[in-house]
Chains A and B, each alone.
Chain A
Amino acid sequence: MENKLIVSYAPHLRTERSTKALMLDVIIALVPALLVGLFAFGIRAFLHVLICVGVSVWAEHVWCLFIKKESTVKDLSAVVTGLLIAFNMPAAAPLWMGAVGAVFAMIIVKGFFGGIGHNFVNPALAARAFMLACWPVQMTAWTNPVFGKFFSQGTVSGATPLASPDLYALSDVFLGNIPGSIGEISALALIIGFAYLLIRKVITWHIPVIYVGVFYILSMLAGQDATYQIFSGGLMLGAIFMATDYTTSPMTTAGHIVYAVLLGVLTMVIRTFGTLPEGVSYSILIMNIVTPLIDKFVKNKRYGGGK
Chain B
Amino acid sequence: MYLKTFKGGIHPGDRKELTNTVPISDCPPPKEVIIPLRQHIGAPCEPCVNVGDRVLMGQKIGEATSFVSAPVHASVSGTVTKIENYPHPGGGEALSVFIENDEKDELFPEIKEWDLDLSKDSIKAFVEKQDAKEIVEKVKNAGITGMGGAAFPTHVKLSPPADVKIHTIIINGAECEPYLTTDHREMLENTKKIILGALLVAKSVSAEKIVIAIENNKKDAISLLEQETKEFDNIEIFTMLTKYPQGSEKQLINAVTKSEVPSGALPSAVGVVVNNIDTCAAISEAVVTNRPLYERVVTVSGDAVNNPKNLRVRVGVKFSELLEIAGGFKEEPKKIVMGGPMMGIAQNNIEVPVIKGTSGILAFSAPETYGKDEGACIKCGKCVEVCPMRLMPNFLSTASVAKDVEKIKAHNILDCMECGCCSFICPQRRFIVQHIKAGKALLKQKG
Residues of A at the B interface (CB closer than 8 Å) are 1-15, 17-19, 21-22, 72, 75, 114-118, 204, 246-253, 255, 299-306
* B388 surroundings in chain A (CB, below 8 A): 303
Closest to A256 in B: B381
Closest to A11 in B: B420
**B375 CB within 8 Å of chain A:** yes
Q: Known contacts A4-B332, A10-B343: does B428 contact A302 (CB below 8 Å)?
A: no
Tell whether, in the assembled complex, residue A12 and residue B378 are in contact, meaning their CB atoms are under 8 Å apart: no
A-binding segment of B191-199, B235-243, B363-371: B363-371
Q: Known contacts A1-B332, A9-B434, A14-B370: does B427 contact A21 (CB below 8 Å)?
A: yes
Tell whether, in the assembled complex, residue B428 and residue A304 are in contact, meaning their CB atoms are under 8 Å apart: no
**B445 CB within 8 Å of chain A:** no
Would you give the shortest CB distance from A277 to chain B, in whole angstroms? 31
Cα A30 to Cα B369 in complex, Å, equals 32
Interface string of B354-377 (1 = CB under 8 A from A): 000000001010001110100111
CB-contact partner of A14 in B333, B347, B378, B429, under 8 A: B429
Apart from A8-B346, A22-B380, A301-B390, list 11 A-B contacts with CB within 8 A.
Answer: A9-B346, A9-B434, A10-B341, A12-B362, A12-B364, A15-B10, A251-B381, A255-B381, A302-B391, A303-B415, A305-B260
Give the bracket for the number of chain B residues in contact with chain A: 35 or more
Cα A6 to Cα B367 in complex, Å, equals 12
Q: What are 5 A-B pairs at a CB distance below 8 A? A: A10-B337, A15-B427, A19-B375, A204-B385, A249-B381
Cα A306 to Cα B348 in complex, Å, equals 40
Cα A300 to Cα B390 in complex, Å, equals 6
**B190 CB within 8 Å of chain A:** no
Tell whether, in the assembled complex, residue A246 and residue B250 are in contact, meaning their CB atoms are under 8 Å apart: no
Q: Known contacts A4-B334, A303-B250: does B423 contact A14 (CB below 8 Å)?
A: yes
CB-contact partner of A305 in B178, B263, B372, under 8 A: B263
Tell whether, in the assembled complex, residue B389 and residue A299 are in contact, meaning their CB atoms are under 8 Å apart: no
Cα A72 to Cα B428 in complex, Å, equals 11
Tell whether, in the assembled complex, residue A18 and residue B346 are in contact, meaning their CB atoms are under 8 Å apart: no
Tell whether, in the assembled complex, residue A252 and residue B427 are in contact, meaning their CB atoms are under 8 Å apart: no
Tell whether, in the assembled complex, residue A10 and residue B347 are in contact, meaning their CB atoms are under 8 Å apart: no
Cα A117 to Cα B427 in complex, Å, equals 12
Tell whether, in the assembled complex, residue B425 and residue A15 are in contact, meaning their CB atoms are under 8 Å apart: yes
Tell whether, in the assembled complex, residue B381 and residue A304 are in contact, meaning their CB atoms are under 8 Å apart: no
Which residues 313-362 of B sit at the A interface, judged by CB distance below 8 A? 332-337, 341-350, 362
How many residue pairs link A and B with beta carbons under 8 A? The number is: 161
Q: Known contacts A10-B343, A252-B384, A304-B263: does B420 contact A5 (CB below 8 Å)?
A: no
Tell whether, in the assembled complex, residue B418 and residue A10 are in contact, meaning their CB atoms are under 8 Å apart: yes
Most chain B CB within a 10 A radius of its CB, from A7, A10, A116: A10
Would you give the shortest CB distance from A77 to chain B, in whole angstroms? 8
Cα A6 to Cα B372 in complex, Å, equals 10
Most chain A CB within a 10 A radius of its CB, from B178, B262, B375, B429: B375
Q: Known contacts A14-B429, A117-B428, A246-B379: does B389 contact A302 (CB below 8 Å)?
A: yes
Residues of B at the A interface (CB closer than 8 Å) are 10, 12, 178, 250, 254, 260-265, 332-337, 341-350, 362, 364, 368-370, 372, 375-381, 384-385, 388-392, 394, 412, 415, 418, 420, 423-429, 431, 433-434, 437
Tell whether, in the assembled complex, residue B348 and residue A2 are in contact, meaning their CB atoms are under 8 Å apart: yes
Tell whether, in the assembled complex, residue B377 and residue A11 are in contact, meaning their CB atoms are under 8 Å apart: no
Would you give the shortest CB distance from A22 to chain B, in whole angstroms? 5
Cα A5 to Cα B415 in complex, Å, equals 31
Tell whether, in the assembled complex, residue B412 and residue A302 are in contact, meaning their CB atoms are under 8 Å apart: yes
Would you give the shortest CB distance from B445 to chain A, in whole angstroms? 19
Q: Known contacts A19-B375, A305-B263: does B389 contact A8 (CB below 8 Å)?
A: no
* B345 surroundings in chain A (CB, below 8 A): 10
Q: Known contacts A11-B423, A21-B427: does B335 contact A5 (CB below 8 Å)?
A: yes
Cα A185 to Cα B176 in complex, Å, equals 47
Q: Known contacts A10-B343, A302-B390, A303-B389: does B427 contact A17 (CB below 8 Å)?
A: yes
Tell whether, in the assembled complex, residue B346 and residue A6 are in contact, meaning their CB atoms are under 8 Å apart: yes
Q: Known contacts A14-B370, A303-B254: does B431 contact A9 (CB below 8 Å)?
A: yes
Cα A1 to Cα B341 in complex, Å, equals 21
Tell whether, in the assembled complex, residue B349 and residue A306 are in contact, meaning their CB atoms are under 8 Å apart: no
Would you give the shortest CB distance from B310 to chain A, in whole angstroms? 20
* B265 surroundings in chain A (CB, below 8 A): 304
Cα A304 to Cα B426 in complex, Å, equals 24
Tell whether, in the assembled complex, residue A5 and residue B346 are in contact, meaning their CB atoms are under 8 Å apart: yes
Q: Known contacts A12-B341, A12-B364, A114-B376: does B381 contact A5 (CB below 8 Å)?
A: no
* A246 surroundings in chain B (CB, below 8 A): 378-381
* B333 surroundings in chain A (CB, below 8 A): 5
* B372 surroundings in chain A (CB, below 8 A): 8
Tell whether, in the assembled complex, residue A10 and residue B420 are in contact, meaning their CB atoms are under 8 Å apart: yes
Q: Known contacts A75-B375, A304-B263: does B424 contact A7 (CB below 8 Å)?
A: no
CB-contact partner of B334 in A6, A14, A114, under 8 A: A6
Cα A117 to Cα B398 in complex, Å, equals 12
Tell whether, in the assembled complex, residue A250 and residue B381 are in contact, meaning their CB atoms are under 8 Å apart: yes
Would you give the shortest CB distance from B402 to chain A, in whole angstroms? 14
Tell whether, in the assembled complex, residue A247 and residue B378 are in contact, meaning their CB atoms are under 8 Å apart: yes
Tell whether, in the assembled complex, residue B384 and residue A251 are in contact, meaning their CB atoms are under 8 Å apart: yes
CB-contact partner of B349 in A2, A9, A114, A304, under 8 A: A2
